[in-house]
Structure 1
């Protein structure tokens, strides 16, 4: 499996009324890193013919993050089956390595023209495994 990482810094827009990162923001980060991973690895032809939609999302919140914290997002594909894959995203504090949240999401590959699920080909699995 190929792991993709990104580091971000918590800004004021990420905070809720308790002055820690809003839970909704973690969900957005999960979507953003999945998209970055796809765009980084997929060929232009693949990008023109397929896109992913999230069909199931489970996230566990473990610790808080605060303004100016450096956050590491790490993602990889756990498994493939037919037209779907399961993606894991681990969100940690970059300095302390404390686990902030962990997510498992199920994604479905969609054909751009038909807007219907498309079987994941070996060409696509090779991008991430």
Structure 2
């Protein structure tokens, strides 16, 4: 069954992260290994967080990924260039956010997409914490 391509909510910022396809990303089948895509989901979310929040906030709070789901549409070959991750967040649910990521090739075709569930934690005690309302505007469309 074909999965629909993920589309961002109209009120959410779509944050773009350039990705490099390296020789060590290529598997025995001659394309980017599935495990690399999971790393890219995490890298995209971390880059978005780091770009929108100052060091003081990032010292107080941290995110823990508790689930990743990836759909693969077309392989990325070893010579792929201008690959991008586009990421945005969903609706907060207490301490949880779903983060959505589309991996696109140079022509803008979706090669893979994923949903990760992240939990906000107090960075010292590592205990879950409800996502503060004042954090939400940082993820809004600019």
TM (norm. structure 1) is 0.94
Alignment deviations for residues 18-70 of structure 1 (CA, whole Å, 9 cap, x no partner): 11000000001111111111111012221110000011111101100011212
Q: Does 1:78 align with 2:78?
A: no
Q: CA deviation at 1:81?
A: 1.1
2:6 aligned residue: none
Q: Does 1:19 align with 2:30?
A: yes
Structure 1 unaligned spans of 5+: none
Residue among 100, 103, 110 paired with 2:114 = 103
**What count of residue pairs does the alignment treat as equivalent?**
128
2:47 aligned residue: 36
Distance 2:17 2:67 in 1: 23
Task: Detail structure 1 runs of 4+ shifted over 2 Å in the superposition.
Answer: none
Q: CA deviation at 1:9?
A: 3.0
TM (norm. structure 2) is 0.86
Residue among 59, 71, 82 paired with 1:48 = 59
Q: Does 1:68 align with 2:102?
A: no
Structure whose residues are more often strand by fraction:
1
Q: Is the 8 A contact 1:79 1:87 kept in 2?
A: no
Structure 2 unaligned spans of 5+: 1-11
1:91 aligned residue: 103
Residue among 110, 117, 122 paired with 2:128 = 117
Q: CA deviation at 1:114?
A: 1.9
